[in-house]
Amino acid sequence: MYGQTTVSTPNTSASRMYRIEVEGMRQSSESDKQSYAIRKSGSVFFTVPYSRMNEQMRRINRMGGKIVNIQPLNTEPAPQPENSEN
């Protein structure tokens, strides 16, 4: 409706970031479009928002990479368990 606004919280899926570790990337016509060279050896890291993860994973597969690890990048500290010492 006209005049309505959407309020989002910082913990929505759009604000979640992930780091993807990739091995075995090869230089190809797809990677030639980028402004940096990709080496066959070693790991390459991509940081992407949750909303673009699927797209990035497809791109990695097309370029011959193998996804080794995916880690969430949390800006908030993990909740600490309460001590039940009495």
pLDDT of residue 15: 75
The pLDDT of residue 43 is: 84
Task: List the one residue out of 46, 52, 10 whose CA is nearest residue 25.
Answer: 46
* Cα–Cα distance for residue pair 71/47, rounded to 1 Å: 9
Domains for the chain: give ranges and CATH numbers: 16-73 (3.30.1490.170)
What are the pLDDT tens digits along the chain (86 aa)? 455 554 445 556 557 999 999 988 766 565 566 666 555 557 889 999 999 999 999 999 988 889 999 999 976 655 677 776 65
Number of C-beta neighbours around residue 43 at 10 A: 13
The answer to whether the predicted template modeling score (pTM) of the entire model surpasses 0.85 is no
The amino acid sitting at 50 is Y
C-beta separation of 16 from 72 below 8 A = yes
Q: Is 1 helix (H, G, I), strand (E, B) or coil?
A: coil
